[in-house]
Amino acid sequence: MRDVAIIGIGIIKWGELWEKSLRDISVEAALNCFDDAGTDRVDAITIGCMSSGLFNRQEHLSSLIADYLGKLYTPSTRVESACASGGLAVRTAFLEVASGVSDYALALGVEKMTDVSGGGATSALSSASDYDYEAFHGITFPGLYALMAKAHMDRFGTTREQLAQVSIKNHYNGSLNPNAQFPFKITLVQVLSSTMIADPLRLFDCSPITDGAAAVLLTTVEEARKLNKHPLVIISGVGSSTDTIALSQREDILKLGAVENATRRALKMAGKTIRDVDFAEVHDCFTIAEILIMEAIGLVKQGEAGPAVLNGLTALNGKFPINPSGGLKSKGHPVGATGVGQIYEAVSQLRGESGKRQIPNAKIALTQNMGGSGGSSVVHILEAR
Amino acid sequence: MRDVAIIGIGIIKWGELWEKSLRDISVEAALNCFDDAGTDRVDAITIGCMSSGLFNRQEHLSSLIADYLGKLYTPSTRVESACASGGLAVRTAFLEVASGVSDYALALGVEKMTDVSGGGATSALSSASDYDYEAFHGITFPGLYALMAKAHMDRFGTTREQLAQVSIKNHYNGSLNPNAQFPFKITLVQVLSSTMIADPLRLFDCSPITDGAAAVLLTTVEEARKLNKHPLVIISGVGSSTDTIALSQREDILKLGAVENATRRALKMAGKTIRDVDFAEVHDCFTIAEILIMEAIGLVKQGEAGPAVLNGLTALNGKFPINPSGGLKSKGHPVGATGVGQIYEAVSQLRGESGKRQIPNAKIALTQNMGGSGGSSVVHILEAR
């Protein structure tokens, strides 16, 4: 297996981009990535997009974007695993380079969620749950995560204030990120008095609807050393796992089995433990998700994540910062782009280019992307060399 | 790069399967594949499906199928490139094994096109064209291929009888295939008197709407030799390419650039030329498509495919049989399953297990899968060893 490095990263400002189309934002992020890399050589493209079909009535996105990017005839593959599609695109680009089939592989994540066709964004998103047994009967993702939040509060005594602290922390970090959709701080009073969405989750517990794209360029470590444009960042571990997509089918709705397994695989491949990792970007689609993920990646024991957040463990200046980018809550959640956006942030931190939100001496990062209510997860370990 | 073999193949009878769901047919094909392989070991799953979102309001299919297959926590990736999704699933499974990330990879293709939600199958399929510039204005795939047929007849003198012969040949082959949706012969008179769909294409020039699934299991050649259950079949070449998905953007609407490039890449990797290949399974979504593909893969010069079909070059007992399975026309076209079904047929032929439709001494096969009006194509070279 060939060693793989990330030599370019590109993003755009995420938000409600009414004046831009699906193809516009894809190309813009990819061109920013080429600029950063100092090369536009691409032997293969992988695109993470959850549902350009339901959102935009546009499948066949892999070819459409290759064409609009000026890369006609380049092999291009769209991958999908609901909101974990972006992470999976990076993993598939890794396979291209690691196998030797491609020397340069571009992973692009994109989702255009405003100005959509059909039943609107919430309806399209519900296709990430088990349609026959969940969505058809009316439950949406805020409802599914509210069930997990209620259970966590009941079993472990997790409090509303602890949940709120996830959002407050991430908005603080996001206020330092010029590409975030909502780059401002929020207070405990604001979270607790925001509109109820699905009890106990309020508006400020939920990530937003976002248009966005991000891209990263992969090649071999050998090639990266030759180019030598940026401090070297390698992908030392990749892990992917599935779980039931129906929450009702899990043995324990408070265990994210896909996150546990994907993390174990990625750490094993990298020859590391969670204690070796300096910081993480994780999938806080709802505040309770970040709590459950902290437990699933082994950072704290089950039931201990709530107090840990309140005590500052995961703050930007804490022992294990989580979501320095602002996370899904503040940076935004264009579902197919999110996993690639996480890699963007991790590389930026490992290069020491994150400005006001820079984590000092960050050498090893973990990124964790998730689909649905935990039905899939993709984890990467990145290292500065 | 590790050498890759196909050790298991599975399919179901394709057709209008009103009593079976998306998950039913996926699992059935995969279990048939495990039976054939004599093992159900799977380290990674890749699923080719064009649009379970628009057809069935079900994204996140990768996890759903892993779960229903009894393979919880196994990494699973859905890949999509319109009607080339199945071929792309096989290519991605190849990357899993070739890279060393996975030792056993299952590639599954599936589409459930009857009993669908929303605007029906034709509307969902139109999302494989450029939505903003083609589908939105009302053109469908029969219309796009009719434009190509008209142009080919005009420029090269291709006749209605030559087009019809593609369908007659494929139905003859399909009559020998117990898994085909329409396993019966048809006559010239039947083709020429069938309902006009988009002038000059009639009903019997068009592949049908189909529910279906197929699966293949890949591992290293080394592992395959140890198992030694079937005659060894290796994947010696993989090729993928894009083109514009909008027909209006092509320099020449009679050149399938994606097919040309994918074929060139696959043959180069295998160290072969088209003259070395014994037979092919190709993407005859419409009769004119098979004509254009014969020219794009280099079997005959541009403009010469029509007469060549009529002269029997591609008949089951011809010099270069095409679509011994019956092709998309007779076997059916469950879009995401089609590319995997082609690999099923090629392996069956190379093993010498194809019964009445067996091609004698078949040693090297080419499979060619295509998305939209040629916006993408995936080609594989398989060899009996």
pLDDT digits (tens, 9 = 90+) for A304-363: 999 999 999 999 999 999 999 999 999 999 999 999 999 999 999 999 999 999 999 999
* Average pLDDT of the residues of chain A: 97
Strand-pair category, B196-198 with B233-242: unpaired
pTM of the predicted protein model: 0.98
Q: Residue B116 — pLDDT band, cuts 50, 70, 90?
A: confident
Whether the bond between B200 and the residue before it is cis, its omega within 30 degrees of 0, is yes
Please give the average per-residue pLDDT across B4-17, as a whole number: 98
pLDDT for A118: 62
How many whole angstroms separate alpha carbon A79 and alpha carbon A96?
Answer: 13
Is the CB of residue A335 less than 8 Å away from at least one CB of chain B?
no
Give the ranges where B130-227 is alpha helix by DSSP (H): 141-156, 160-174, 188-192, 221-227
Q: Which of A330, A327, A350 is nearest to A339 (CA)?
A: A327
A83 in catalytic set:
yes
- Kindly determine whether residue A240 and residue B77, on different chains, have CB atoms separated by under 8 Å: yes
Instruction: Give the type of residue at B145.
Output: Y
Average pLDDT of span B256-278: 98
* pLDDT for B123: 87
Instruction: Name the band, by pLDDT with cuts 50, 70 and 90, for residue A122.
Output: confident
Nearest CA in chain B to A136: B57
What is the spatial distance between Cα B213 and Cα B106, in angstroms, rounded to a whole number? Answer: 13
Contact A372 B63 (CB under 8 A): yes
Give me the pLDDT at residue B115, please: 81
What is the average per-residue pLDDT within A107-115?
95
pLDDT given for residue A43 in this prediction = 98
Percentage of residues of chain A with pLDDT beyond 90: 97
Tokens at residue A153, please?
């509060």
The model's pLDDT over B88-100, given as tens digits with 9 standing for 90+, comes to 999 999 999 999 9
A111 touches chain B (CB under 8 A): no
- Residue found by looking up tokens 């392996």 in the block: B347
**Residues of B in Cβ contact (< 8 Å) with A74:** 241-242
Tell me whether residues A78 and B75 touch, CB distance under 8 A. Answer: no
Backbone angle region of B38, left / alpha / beta, with phi > 0 → left and psi within -120 to 50 → alpha:
left
CA–CA gap between residue B300 and residue A224 (Å, rounded): 43
Q: What is the pLDDT of residue B118?
A: 62
Task: List A residues 200-239 in contact with B (Cβ-Cβ < 8 A).
Answer: 238-239
- Average pLDDT, stretch B307-330? 98
**What tokens appear for B91 in the block?**
């290519």
Say yes or no for a CB contact (<8 Å) between B257 and A72. yes
Q: Nearest by CB to A53, which of B44, B53, B375?
A: B53
Token couple for A144 = 């599914």
Q: Is A244 close to B76, i.e. CB distance below 8 A?
A: no
Q: Which of A47-61, A159-173, B107-121 has the lowest mean pLDDT?
A: B107-121
For chains A and B, CB pairs below 8 A equal 219
Burial class from Cβ neighbours inside 10 Å (0-12, 13-18, 19+) for residue B302 reads middle
Confirm whether the ipTM is greater than 0.95: yes
For residues B46-57, average pLDDT: 95
Among B49, B94, B86, CA closest to B378: B86
**AA letter at B192:** L
Query: What tokens were used for A214?
Result: 């991000």
Residue of B nearest to A242 (CA): B73
In this complex, do A57 and B54 lie within 8 Å of one another by their Cβ atoms? yes
Query: How close is the nearest chain A Cα to the Cα of B273, in Å?
Result: 19
Mean pLDDT, residues A173-188: 98
What mean pLDDT do residues B332-358 have? 98
Give the E-state strand segments of B61-166 in sequence order.
76-80, 105-111
Check if B372 contacts A (Cβ < 8 Å).
Answer: yes
Say whether A95 and B95 touch across the interface (CB within 8 A): yes
CB atoms < 10 A from the CB of A123, how many?
A: 14
Q: Is B335 on the interface with A (CB under 8 A)?
A: no
Q: What is the pLDDT of residues A205-237, one digit of tens each?
A: 999 999 999 999 999 999 999 999 999 999 999
Determine the distance in angstroms separating the CA of A108 from the nearest CA of chain B, rounded to an integer.
14
- Residue B157 gets which letter from DSSP? -
Q: B140 at the A interface (CB within 8 A)?
A: no
Between CA B71 and CA B5 the distance in angstroms is 22
CB A354 within 8 A of CB A233: no
Chain B residue with CA closest to A21: the answer is: B132
Taking the CA of residue B157 as centre, how many other CA atoms within 13 Å lie in the half-sphere pointing to its CB?
Answer: 2
Model pLDDT, residue B321: 98
Residue (of B317, B252, B289, B316) closest to B377 by Cα position: B289
Residue A67 CB neighbours (<10 A): 23
pLDDT, tens digit (0-9, with 9 covering 90-100), for A3-60: 999 999 999 999 999 999 999 999 999 999 999 999 999 999 999 999 999 999 999 9
In this prediction, residue A246 carries a pLDDT of 97
Q: Which is catalytic among the residues B171, B230, B283, B333?
A: B333
Place of tokens 């990646």: A297
CA–CA distance, B51 with B82 (Å, rounded to integer): 8
Name beta bridge partners: A202.
A196
To the nearest whole number, what is the mean pLDDT of chain B? 97
pLDDT value at A119 more than 80: no
Residue A114 phi/psi, 5-degree rounding, is -100, 165
B369 to chain A, any CB pair closer than 8 A? The answer is no
- Cβ–Cβ below 8 Å for B63 and A242: yes
Banded model confidence at residue B120, pLDDT cuts 50, 70, 90: confident
Helices (H), A43-187: 52-56, 61-68, 85-99, 121-125, 141-156, 160-174
Give rounded-to-5 percent helix, strand, coil for chain A. 40, 20, 40
What is the rounded distance in angstroms from the CA atom of residue A370 to the CA atom of residue A339?
8
